[in-house]
Amino acid sequence: MRNQGKVTNWNDKKGYGFVKPCGGGDQAFVHIKSFERGARRPLDGDLRSL
């Protein structure tokens, strides 16, 4: 099962940001490689699966 969360702070130039889990808990650091290959690049406010 994949985790889902909301992108809260994304730095596209550096290829990383933070995601707040939908189920609650602390936000997590994520790198662009954590997202599915070929998917649209993340934007602040996106709801994404990791």
Question: Which phi and psi angles does 4 have, rounded to 5°?
Answer: -130, 145
On whether the pTM is more than 0.75, the answer is yes
CA dist., res. 19 & res. 7, Å (int)? 4
Q: What's 41's domain CATH number?
A: 2.40.50.140
Query: How many CA atoms lie less than 13 Å away from 34 in the CB half-sphere?
Result: 18
Give the domain range for residue 28. Answer: 4-49
Strand partners, 48: 5
In sequence order, what are the residues at sequence separation of 6 or more whose Cβ sits closer than 8 angstroms to the Cβ of residue 35?
42, 48, 50
Give mean pLDDT in consecutive 10-residue pieces for the chain, a chain of 50 residues. 86 96 92 88 89
Give the chain's domain count.
1
Residue with the two structure tokens 């602040």: 44
